[in-house]
Structure 1
Amino acid sequence: MKIKTFLNETIKDELVEKRYTLTPKIYAEVRKLDDLKFCNFGDLKKIIDSEILAILGPKDERDAPKPKAKQPKAKKTDNKKKETKDEPVRNMFTEGFLGDLHKVGENPQLYPETLKKHLEFTKGKVHTRFPPEPNGFLHIGHSKAVMVNFGFAAYHDGHCYLRYDDTNPEAEEKKYFDSILNMIHWLGYEPWKITYSSDYFDQLYAFAIKLIELDRGYVCKCSNETIKKNRGIDPVTGQPGGERSACEHRDLPIEWHLAEFKKMHDGAYKPGEAILRMKQDLKNPSPQMWDLIAYRVLNATHPRTGDKWKIYPTYDFTHCIVDSLENITHSLCTTEFYLSRESYEWLLDQLHIFRTAQREYGRLNITGTIMSKRRIAKLVNNKIVRDWNDPRLFTLESLKRRGIPPGAILSFINTLGVTTSTTNIQVSRFETSVRKFLEETVPRLMLVLDPIEVVIDNLDDSFEIDCELPYKQGNDEFGKRTVKFGNKIYIERSDFSEDSSDKEFFRLTPEQPVGLLKVPKVIKFKSLEKDSNGKITKIHAEYDSESTVKKPKTYIHWVSSKSATPIKEVRLYNQLFNSENPASLSSEEFLTDINPKSEVIIKGALIENNFFEVVAKSPIITDSLKKLNFYVQETTEVSGNERIRFQGMRLGYFCVDYDSSDDGIILNRIVELKN
């Protein structure tokens, strides 16, 4: 407790700033504390490290060693003409983990004859699969798996299955099946075939019988507690390490196991009363070889097979067999399944079928977020967020609603590359990547979030100027639009200050004129009006038609009073949690870690009326956009209002939210203009 108090009350600010580089200093300071001077440092270090992790979260790119500054090379003088080359675009499929993968047919086989049939089917083409469980919505981490599997196959002119791993009917719902396919389409991929693990239930059952006949499978009626004890798992800590022993049913005759498995199939047992286990190697140090469960009894109606089955295969039994049956050349999964490779290959070899090669890469984590289905459900049920597609979450449905383009996600993953290490990325880095993508792909509009009316007294109501603005400066493909300037406009409240002495404020003040974007002359302050609470309600200004001011210090955006379009709501989104690592908090603590400003709703904003032209043309597709490495054409089948994206000049990037209706327009801020 004393260490926790010291870290949170004495040194937390410095720790957050300097992160893990401060650790040696903390070790030294803690050892000076009166009550801890004579404690074993090894014990203290474990506690300190644990508390630092709780505050900072896992190490990420901020904690990577800073590269040493390169010494400038001596200049060489020669007569050769210098050549300039464009910086090569990174390609995740040709480098790192994916670049090192074996070619089709090169993975070793215990039974070489199985390879011949495999190659006859694949014809040398890469075959991968994306095998989600249809028990929840995909999140940002899944987007990496989608891109790894679909992208790797596409890069090698191969095929990728979408295979629903529907072996747990208790948790599966139609909405998850539908959402998964929609998100794959949204990311720009089309499955070669859509299959289901349940397509293979009859074959899997036959393989289970074969396993028993080979004396490599047995029916076990032990309780969960007994199974854990036999595996040497401590009942208090849950940690392995104790003596392992065989189940009392393990060595009963094969005929008994076949009869008992038939009874399981016929519904003679209730859930938990009997399971089918693989007869592996209890002496093996890997827990994945400690007689894994192959089948269990479930009294649940399956979404596709109905009540046909009373027993269902486990992931450990199903996954590798279906990979083999579908002739998968590369079974690509994340590193938490690394130990599973041994049991995966063991089972395929026992059944004498093609041994697909499982290979593992590091998963993607983003700071300040949670991915747990159980925890997101708590946020939804407690009405902290609207639903599973709330823009503050990192489900793919949420990111889509927030307005993040699918191409931005793919581009982000490509820049990270694929390695065997878990990738912990700051959310700010993700947003920077999104911002960079939007910078090249969306038009600009003038949006005023907190409008204050400016009346230009020396212009009459009939005065009007057509101001021409490009939708994107420097790119004529986006086209141009006309905005009418008259004697009444709206500017941002923050673009006016009553304090003329502030030398760092370059916008409108009583003594300082300001330029209006694409308006020929500046405006100068004359007077203002306030309400009874002292809030400015109106500014009176003068149009500098005589050009007494040659060049203003800056230009601000504005909207015309005559043609301004009201916005019902603008929703500004920020990080949902205060901490960098909310996943490390307890199931109750994380609910108190909510950032109260994660969603700021602004009413009364105004936008130029060219907004409706952008709506009509969205998404605006240009030749330069099509040339982007990860351009994804969004169709009406999988995309809605979020395709309407634009930059609110000087403010950020926005999209139209699903909640928009005839009653009013609702905008979501995708990301700010700058970090």
Structure 2
Amino acid sequence: MSDALSGRDLEWAKNSPQLDEEHKKINAGIVRTRFPPEPNGYLHIGHAKSMNMNFSLAFSKLDVPMESRRTVFRYDDTNPEAESKEYIDSLKRDLEWLGWKPEKTTFSSDNFDFLESCAERLIKAGKAYVCFLNSVEVEAQRECCKKRIGAVSKGLDPDKEVGDAGGLYPGRYRDTGVEENLTRWNRMKKGFYKEGECTLRMKMDLTSSNPNMHDLMAYRIKYVSHPHAGPGRCVYPSYDFTHCICDSFERIDYSICTLEFETRREPYYWLLKELDMYRPKVYEMSRLNIEYTVLSKRRLLKLVEKTVRGWDDPRMPTISGLRRRGYTKECLNAFCDDVGATRNANLVEVNRLQQHARVALADKTRRCMGVLRPVKVVCKGAVKSVLKVPNYPQAPERGEHEVEFTPTFYVDERDVRAEADSNFFGYAPGNLVGIKYANIKVIVDSVGPNGVECHAVEEGKPKSYVTWVGEGGLRCEVREYGNLFTVPEPSSDWESEVNPNSEVICTDAMVDPSISELCDSKGLDKWTSNVSFQFERIGYYVVDDDTSWVHGQNKGKIVFNGIVGLKEDKAKATGGDQKKDGGGTKSGDAQRAKQAAAKARLEIPLKELFAKDPEWKGLYSRYDDDGIPTHDKEGAELKKNQIKKLKKDFEKHKKALAKKK
């Protein structure tokens, strides 16, 4: 088997021949991983990456045959205050929706009795003790450890240079006898102490350079009923105590986590060594970071409480939010395959995820015409007619639907201008415009506050064929979504960086009525993917759970969520594509704005680029000798990948200035 998932080597990580032999005998050729989320919130796209790794990619990296692959889905439920049945249920449904099938589902809480017996074994071995230091004293003790280690590294006497922090080092409870610790431990379990009065700590190594070896907590007191195990306990194990024991107990071969847990490798293996239990292989990979997104559970919870409508809000990076936004499991799994798993930290461009959405939706979404902000058009000389329109223009054999053209119809406001422009081919005075699918050409007579007036003509070749919706179109609500944050990498001041325009609601939008049956609310389910459509020339949209439409009775409301816009190729960006696909102003305006910004940037000296250009102005507080930012506006030092990206922009500007000369 490949050694592709090898981490930092430790002597404690090595199993005895007896433990290795026992493990091989029990697993009988099986290679096992685990996916262990904590049920204290909804799963997010970072968890999707972890699932992809633990259910698929890890085995591929290890060259494990399909028949030998097993993954345990474990609820890491050791903190009852933050956990709930809602979260427990949501984790299961999201896992199922993504298509992953675990070997079995377990709960860390199912092992509470065994975990307590392990704690008692440590106490009897003199490797754990009941500690009555409060949180402030523990912090002072650890700070003392840090200073003493620093003194030793400089060849100084720590007792003289640092001392014992007023008796906190090594701590007045650390050398309590075994029998007294067992008595106190039993009193903890029976509820004789208050919450926070004492903890059970592991007696590790206060001289270690790794702070996670400074006597981590194994158990704390909480008078809270557990959402899965129920009432009856008042002591709960910590993550550091539980995780490695459950990995070993469940016969996990590879324990895969993210890089912030790399320093927990020592306590992981220390505890299993002291308990003489099998030691799985630990591999740390970089966590997923995506532009304009936060994935911290604490931050996501605050967004739910203050900013968005819930964990499944379409702006949220949760799996439930992405599903409601219209992202499919095929899209998310393909994105995770694309990102892969390495130890290199990087920031993934949000367009990478969006492009996977376009690919996943392109051949699966039926086309229809829609207008987000309708403008009324009255066409003289046109007559009502019923048209046959393909469901999938790229595959006519997949059927068609009927659309009724009426002399009064509606187009999107982006396709209308009050004044003519040589680069605009939509509805502007004097323009010749084609009405898509209707085989009708019109000359625009006037554009005013009440809409557009035009007349049908026989001659001429339009430069655009604009989509529309007839008088019988369905009124609907369309929610357009942008980035949740205004900056690619939200800072410590992330709450002030939330985008106030991340959701824009079009309340009077209109769509082709042929989709009525597909939008019936009786077919909606928050735990599955609802039906999606491509609004021609606009983008991809999914029917939202808030829809109350009843097909046949023609009552209720249809609500759409914007998934992602259509990919704009080079021709469309310059207006060339408009000759065959409509006159929309969005791409033309964006292109002109981009050209104007590029022209203005050429007036900025190289060294002043990041201080004066509108794209970066005000984002940084310190710069190096070349003018490249080194610290953000709050004074925090930039990460290496941030500086690397800025250097690329610096070099681009340098070349542009040289070309100008």
User: 1:417 Cα shift?
Assistant: 1.6
Residue 147 in structure 1 maps to residue 66 in structure 2: no
Alignment of 1:30-179 (within 5 A): 99-100=4-5, 109-152=14-57, 156=64, 157=66, 158-179=69-90
User: 1:225 Cα shift?
Assistant: 2.7
Change (3 A) 1:124 1:477: farther
The answer to whether the Cα contact below 8 Å between 2:6 and 2:282 also exists between their aligned partners in 1 is no
Which residue does 2:228 correspond to in 1?
Answer: 304
Which residue does 1:180 correspond to in 2?
Answer: 91
Q: Which amino acid aligns with 1:668?
A: N
Which residue does 1:582 correspond to in 2?
Answer: 490
- Find the aligned partners of 2:316 and 2:36 in 1 and give their Cα distance: 23
The answer to whether the Cα contact below 8 Å between 1:573 and 1:669 also exists between their aligned partners in 2 is yes
The answer to whether the Cα contact below 8 Å between 2:304 and 2:310 also exists between their aligned partners in 1 is yes
User: 1:465 Cα shift?
Assistant: 4.2
User: 1:636 Cα shift?
Assistant: 5.5
Change (3 A) 1:226 1:454: closer
User: 1:153 Cα shift?
Assistant: 6.6
The answer to whether the Cα contact below 8 Å between 2:378 and 2:452 also exists between their aligned partners in 1 is yes
User: Residue 296 of structure 1: SS of its match in structure 2?
Assistant: strand
Residue 431 in structure 1 maps to residue 354 in structure 2: yes
The answer to whether the Cα contact below 8 Å between 1:296 and 1:312 also exists between their aligned partners in 2 is yes
- Find the aligned partners of 2:101 and 2:109 in 1 and give their Cα distance: 21
The partner residue of 1:331 within 245, 255, 275 is 255
- Find the aligned partners of 1:559 and 1:392 in 2 and give their Cα distance: 28
Q: Extract unaligned runs of 5+ from structure 1.
A: 1-93, 620-634
Alignment of 1:20-419 (within 5 A): 99-100=4-5, 109-152=14-57, 156=64, 157=66, 158-233=69-144, 245-382=169-306, 384-419=307-342
Which residue does 2:462 correspond to in 1?
Answer: 552
Which residue does 2:559 correspond to in 1?
Answer: 666
Q: Extract unaligned runs of 5+ from structure 2.
A: 154-161, 550-555, 569-661
Change (3 A) 1:121 1:442: farther
Q: Which amino acid aligns with 1:472?
A: Y
User: 1:630-661: per-residue Cα shift (whole Å, max 9, x none)?
Assistant: xxxxx96831xx52111111111111111111
Residue 512 in structure 1 maps to residue 416 in structure 2: no
Q: Which amino acid aligns with 2:469?
A: V
Which residue does 2:443 correspond to in 1?
Answer: 524
Q: Which amino acid aligns with 2:436?
A: L
Change (3 A) 1:577 1:121: same
The partner residue of 1:655 within 542, 556, 574 is 542
The answer to whether the Cα contact below 8 Å between 2:325 and 2:562 also exists between their aligned partners in 1 is yes
Change (3 A) 1:223 1:504: same
User: Residue 259 of structure 1: SS of its match in structure 2?
Assistant: helix
Query: What's the RMSD between the two structures over aligned residues?
Result: 2.9
Please identify, of 213-222 and 432-441, the stretch whose mean Cα deviation from structure 2 is larger: 432-441
Please identify, of 604-613 and 313-322, the stretch whose mean Cα deviation from structure 2 is larger: 604-613
- Find the aligned partners of 1:566 and 1:167 in 2 and give their Cα distance: 49
Q: Which amino acid aligns with 1:469?
A: V
Residue 458 in structure 1 maps to residue 381 in structure 2: yes
The answer to whether the Cα contact below 8 Å between 1:229 and 1:235 also exists between their aligned partners in 2 is no
Residue 565 in structure 1 maps to residue 485 in structure 2: no
Change (3 A) 1:372 1:657: same
Which residue does 2:509 correspond to in 1?
Answer: 605
- Find the aligned partners of 1:478 and 1:337 in 2 and give their Cα distance: 51
Please identify, of 478-487 and 275-284, the stretch whose mean Cα deviation from structure 2 is larger: 478-487
The answer to whether the Cα contact below 8 Å between 2:428 and 2:446 also exists between their aligned partners in 1 is no
Give me the TM-score of the superposition, normalised by structure 2: 0.76
Which residue does 1:499 correspond to in 2?
Answer: 419
Identity %: 37
- Find the aligned partners of 1:243 and 1:142 in 2 and give their Cα distance: 45
Q: Which amino acid aligns with 1:564?
A: G
User: Residue 516 of structure 2: SS of its match in structure 1?
Assistant: helix
The answer to whether the Cα contact below 8 Å between 2:444 and 2:454 also exists between their aligned partners in 1 is yes
Give me the TM-score of the superposition, normalised by structure 1: 0.74
User: 1:493-526: per-residue Cα shift (whole Å, max 9, x none)?
Assistant: 22233323x1111223332211222222322224
Change (3 A) 1:232 1:379: closer
Please identify, of 410-419 and 486-495, the stretch whose mean Cα deviation from structure 2 is larger: 486-495
Which residue does 1:440 correspond to in 2?
Answer: 363
The answer to whether the Cα contact below 8 Å between 1:126 and 1:153 also exists between their aligned partners in 2 is no
Change (3 A) 1:184 1:476: farther
The answer to whether the Cα contact below 8 Å between 2:324 and 2:526 also exists between their aligned partners in 1 is no
User: Residue 603 of structure 1: SS of its match in structure 2?
Assistant: strand
User: 1:320 Cα shift?
Assistant: 0.3
User: 1:128 Cα shift?
Assistant: 1.3
